[in-house]
Structure 1
């Protein structure tokens, strides 16, 4: 993207200190925009304006475009307390953001976790089916944003430099020199953080509505895990892992910690989720990064490099 069209534009990025938000903030600055970073902590560059999404209306003074990435994320333990925390950020925080945004253009970053699993490629009109407080509150928040005329982006399983969630969780699954996976291998969509950042900027010119965002092709679950972890993948029966997930969830209620293996995590690993990205492609956006690119350009991420 050339810097010209962004010169003098002020882009507000919420959640700019996070993994995805920092990538979007850097991409906007590289395109020539002035960046306003909103959140509890400063972003990687630009002006910092403190914002607690659970309590206050953000200061969007002077912003020409808002990209909203601030969110409560993860796989929380079951119960009303966790659900309330996620609702405060993902739903109530969205309402506060919309109050401040007015009629200015808004890019609202959602998640493919709003979808029910499907064996067929998932389009934007696919039924909702969030299994956790995260998926349900992201769906509720994006409904507010869509009603206000926002562009909503739905990436799945974002990875890249500084990823604090997806790849570290996979590596923690290594036990006894192998990774146990429920059921047979499946195809899954993943999203390079660079592809998401490019989409956030490109979406400035898109009609309001929802758009799936992912890498150009889906990946083999087992091949991806083997590349990241450097150990073979072994399959176990799905009923066995369902029992383990039930036990882990029960323990999480006692410890009030994120379950090691939850119903949601099991669903993510056993249900093929492939996003149809043709709607975003029709707007001229094309994903340029892939998982092999990531491994090649970030040697520390490669299992072969780490175990050499």
Structure 2
């Protein structure tokens, strides 16, 4: 199978592209960085998502993993990359089987997500441009994508988002966490997301929207402390009441809008860290034939 993978220079796209090339598929990876994905069985092309791709030939399938994963990005830029980029790829390859990597951040961030189900109505207002633009991409691809995958808090070797943000949030030996980090979270190891993507590509028909994650759900603080300890950077949790953290984030965002300086804390971050974010994984089992695996922190010292 000839497969195009967007976002190949990133954490998720690179892992998916390598897995496809490892199993013998002919892979072309698109990315924004000059030193992006590399594999003996694949080809990397540096290109913007909205640029023409006619010169790359025909593809049997496309995995759209490219995204601007920034909760403080300007809304127009987030929409350009996350919504318009998805639409451009779908239009350029109308015959290819499309698997779109979305996010569980499309669920309502203003309240806990408790065993969030794929059929739950999505909100009309969001706390971040990232969530709003990813939801807009899902709406734009409805009826076109064979699968839309919704992972949450993707972790594992090569992580460029979750762990770096945790390390940045530390204050010496303390790790401030809204709600003390006791809220349950469905986490998604990169291996789980890669396996789900390959199953979605190989499925005989459309699988629609599917949550992707590990089970059982775990308290976020436990995972973060174990990962930091494995890296030789142990931290003690500094509990912050969610309400107080949200008030601080609101003030920080207002200040950031006045000064143009990125806030250290956002309402989106508070909502994601301090409230339950668990997913119903029934569809992953039934439509992809994939059993959730336990949260796996093996090798965390080298992430």
TM-score w.r.t. the length of structure 1 is 0.86
Residue 28 of structure 1, CA deviation: 0.5
Alignment pair present for 1:181 and 2:177: yes
Distance (whole Å) between structure 2 residues aligned to residue 250 and residue 190 of structure 1: 31
Matched, 1:193 2:190: yes
Match of 2:12 in 1: 20
Which position in structure 2 is the counterpart of 1:97?
A: 89
Q: What is the Cα-based RMSD across aligned positions, in Å?
A: 1.9
Q: Is the counterpart of residue 156 in structure 1 residue 158 in structure 2?
A: no
**What 5-or-longer segments of structure 2 have no aligned partner?**
229-233
Tell me which stretches of 4 or more aligned residues in structure 1 moved more than 4 Å: none
Contact 1:177 1:231 in 2 (8 A): yes
Size of the alignment, in residue pairs? 285
Q: Map 1:252-271 to 2 at 5 A.
A: 252-271=256-275
Describe the SS at the equivalent of 1:73: coil
1:133-148 alignment to 2 at 5 Å? 133-148=129-144
Shift, 1:124, TM fit: 0.2
Q: Residue 109 of structure 1: which of 101, 104, 124 is its match?
A: 101
SS at match of 1:44: coil
Report the 3-state secondary structure (helix = DSSP H, G, I; strand = E; otherwise coil) of the residue aligned with 1:120.
Answer: strand
- Aligned twin of 2:200: 203
Following superposition, the deviation at residue 58 of structure 1 comes to: 3.0
Per mean C-alpha deviation after superposition, the further-off stretch among 221-230 and 99-108 is 221-230
What are structure 1's unaligned runs of at least 5 residues?
1-8, 302-308
When residues 119 and 280 of structure 1 are mapped into structure 2, their CA distance, relative to the original with a 3 A threshold, is: closer
Superposed displacement of residue 259, structure 1: 2.2
Distance 1:258 1:19, change over 3 A: farther
CA separation in 2, counterparts of 1:16 and 1:254? Answer: 36
Question: 1:250-272, CA deviations, whole angstroms, 9 ceiling, x for partnerless residues?
Answer: 23224434421101001111210
Match in the other structure for 2:299 = 297
| Residue 216 of structure 1: how far off its partner (Å) | 2.3
Report the Cα distance in structure 1 between the residues aligned to 2:21 and 2:291, rounded to whole angstroms: 20
Residue pair 2:154, 2:190 contacting (<8 A) in 1 also: yes
Q: Distance in 1 between matches of 2:174 and 2:285?
A: 38
Q: Please state if 1:61 is matched with 2:66.
A: no
Contact residue 60 and residue 96 of structure 2 kept, 8 A: yes
- Do the aligned residues in 2 keep the contact of 1:146 with 1:208 (CA within 8 Å)? no
